[in-house]
């Protein structure tokens, strides 16, 4: 996967919920290429930092 679209909806939670399970011993560096905000919701568009589009 080389492009990510994440929608962030702020919510108060009592327990931490992981978005992705940790299955690897390395990180993927992401670069924010666009973001939109509306009605308290944020859309973030990212791609891997080492990929040129």
- pLDDT for 12-52, tens place per residue? 777 777 766 766 677 778 899 999 999 989 999 999 887 55
Closest CA to 46 of 22, 35, 37, 36: 35
pLDDT at 15: 74
**14 inside domain:** no
Look at residue 40 and tell me if it is in a domain: yes
Per-residue model confidence (pLDDT) at position 8:
87
pLDDT for 53 beyond 60: no
Instruction: Domain count for the chain, please give it.
Output: 1
What number of helices (H) and strands (E) belong to the chain? Answer: 0, 3
**pTM for this one?**
0.62
If one counts every other C-beta atom within 10 angstroms of the C-beta of residue 44, the result is 16
Which tokens sit at 20? 């992705």
Domain that holds residue 35: 1-9+28-53
């Amino acid at each position: 996967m080389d492009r990510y679209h994440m929608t962030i909806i702020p919510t108060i939670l009592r327990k931490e919920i992981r978005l992705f399970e940790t299955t690897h011993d390395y990180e993927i560096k992401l670069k924010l290429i666009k973001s939109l905000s509306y009605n308290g919701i944020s859309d973030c568009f990212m791609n891997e930092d080492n990929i040129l589009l």
